[in-house]
């Protein structure tokens, strides 16, 4: 039986790769995608999400638009405002969407779906945690319907937004604390420490492109853009992290990451440290772990998974329901 998954995204090039992976992997049943403000404003993350699903023939997966702002810091920037030279850009380089988002909002969808679930659902938030925290504020018992929450966010030795913080957590630190302390049965955190170890190379992009499949072509385009943008900032030539897809890959091959059980909380007060994931790595810590934190990731296994899922002819993927557009 395939695993039921909801992705919460701020699409973004790496979110886009994660969406394609979850939508096309035969062991995953992507029952909905919720969007949130993040890499770009929420109307653009929604538009990008619809583009991706249309492009790979999975317009049947419903998209629900979520929050445009963090839950507490209303004065915070409403999006990272990625520039045309950045790893995302405002609009993904594939055709405009043909399908439209659902009328129901993301938070309403999360609450209704989790309240009425007859099977356990896996939540995979790979953007700021505003939607998930708001749903939990409405009904804290939603955790009972979730077998695992797999979050891309945070950083211990590696950060990217400030000297202390990773973007997804920094963008809504109060929401992150709500989710980390909600009491999920299993919470896996995939921080930058892990995603920077699973760099995807130009060679893999070339192989994806050569396959000629819609997903292969799009993944190559998105990851190549990231490699251009990360040029000189990672410890490898012609490679870049594709953070969010590490979470999707973990769902089907848990050994793609290596984890430690730790207590994690988020700093919300210090002016220099807002959004820092404070991971209690002390060997003599007495704090009860609330997360399985990834500190390692396997680049070869990730590349193999991307090639396996994205280069399959569309007809053999989970449910190719319409041909890709021109
Ligand atoms: O810090 C990396 C994360 O921030 C990724 O999820 C990326 O898509 C952005 O949301
Ligand atoms: Ca993201």
Closest CA to ligand 1's atom 10: 127
Predicted pLDDT at 81: 64
- Count of alpha carbons within 13 Å of 227, Cβ hemisphere only? 19
Q: Ligand nearest 79 Cα, by number?
A: 1
Look at the alpha carbons of 216, 218, 219, 221 in this order and tell me if their dihedral is positive or negative.
positive
Going along the chain from its start, the domains and CATH numbers come out as 3-192+243-299 (3.90.245.10)
What is the CA(316)–ligand 1 centre distance, in A? Answer: 30
Mind listing the pLDDT tens digit for each residue in 242-271?
A: 999 999 999 999 999 999 999 999 999 999
What is the CA(286)–ligand 2 centre distance, in A? Answer: 32
Angle at 107 between CA 104 and CA 113, to 5 degrees: 80
What is the CA(73)–ligand 1 centre distance, in A? Answer: 19
What is the CA(235)–ligand 2 centre distance, in A? Answer: 22
Which of 87, 244, 294 should be mutated for ligand 1, with most atoms under 8 A from CB?
244
With 60 as the cut, is the pLDDT of residue 305 above it?
yes
> CB under 6 Å to ligand 1: residues?
10, 12, 14-15, 38-39, 126-127, 152, 160, 166-168, 243-244
Quote the pTM value. 0.95
Which of 11, 18, 39, 191 should be mutated for ligand 1, with most atoms under 8 A from CB?
39
Min mean pLDDT across 11-20, 178-187, 281-290, 313-322 is at 313-322
Mind listing the pLDDT tens digit for each residue in 91-149?
A: 999 999 999 999 999 999 999 999 999 999 999 999 999 999 999 999 999 999 999 99
Query: Which residues are part of the catalytic machinery?
Result: 10
Q: Which atom of ligand 1 is nearest to the CA of 126?
A: 6
With 80 as the cut, is the pLDDT of residue 75 above it?
no
Min mean pLDDT across 74-88, 156-170, 187-201 is at 74-88
* Confidence band, pLDDT 50/70/90 cuts, at residue 73: confident
Predicted pLDDT at 319: 43
Mind listing the pLDDT tens digit for each residue in 35-72?
A: 999 999 999 999 999 999 999 999 999 999 999 999 99
Burial string for 257-269 (b: 16+ CB within 10 Å, else e) reads: bebeebbbbbbee
- In terms of Cα–Cα distance, which of 211, 275, 229, 222 is closest to 73? 275
């Amino acid at each position: 039986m395939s695993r039921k998954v909801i992705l919460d995204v701020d699409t973004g090039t790496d979110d886009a790769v994660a969406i394609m992976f979850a939508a096309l992997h035969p062991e995953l049943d992507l029952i909905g995608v919720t969007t949130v403000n993040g890499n770009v404003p929420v109307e653009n993350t929604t538009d990008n999400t619809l583009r991706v699903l249309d492009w790979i023939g999975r317009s049947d997966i419903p998209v629900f638009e979520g929050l445009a702002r963090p839950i507490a810091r209303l004065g915070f920037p409403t999006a990272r405002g990625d520039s045309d030279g950045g790893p995302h850009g405002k609009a993904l380089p594939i055709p405009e969407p043909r399908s439209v988002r659902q009328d129901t909002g993301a938070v309403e969808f999360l609450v209704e779906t989790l309240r009425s679930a007859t099977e356990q659902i896996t939540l995979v938030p790979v953007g700021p945690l505003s939607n998930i925290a708001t749903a939990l504020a409405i009904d804290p018992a939603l955790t009972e319907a979730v077998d695992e929450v797999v979050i891309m966010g945070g950083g211990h030795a590696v950060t990217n937004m400030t000297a202390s913080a990773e973007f997804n957590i920094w963008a809504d630190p109060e929401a992150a604390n709500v989710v980390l302390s909600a009491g999920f049965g299993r919470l896996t955190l995939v921080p930058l420490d892990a995603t920077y170890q699973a760099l995807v190379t130009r060679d893999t992009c070339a192989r994806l492109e050569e396959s000629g499949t819609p997903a292969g072509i799009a993944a190559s385009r998105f990851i190549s853009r990231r490699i251009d943008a990360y040029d000189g900032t990672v410890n490898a030539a012609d490679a870049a992290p594709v953070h969010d897809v590490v979470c999707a890959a973990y769902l089907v091959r848990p050994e793609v990451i290596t984890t430690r059980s730790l207590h994690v909380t988020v700093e919300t007060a210090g002016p220099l440290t807002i959004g820092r994931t404070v991971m209690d790595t002390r060997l003599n810590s007495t704090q009860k772990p609330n997360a399985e934190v990834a500190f390692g990731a396997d680049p070869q296994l990730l590349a193999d998974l991307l090639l396996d899922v994205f280069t399959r002819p569309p007809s053999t993927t989970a449910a190719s329901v319409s041909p890709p557009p021109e």
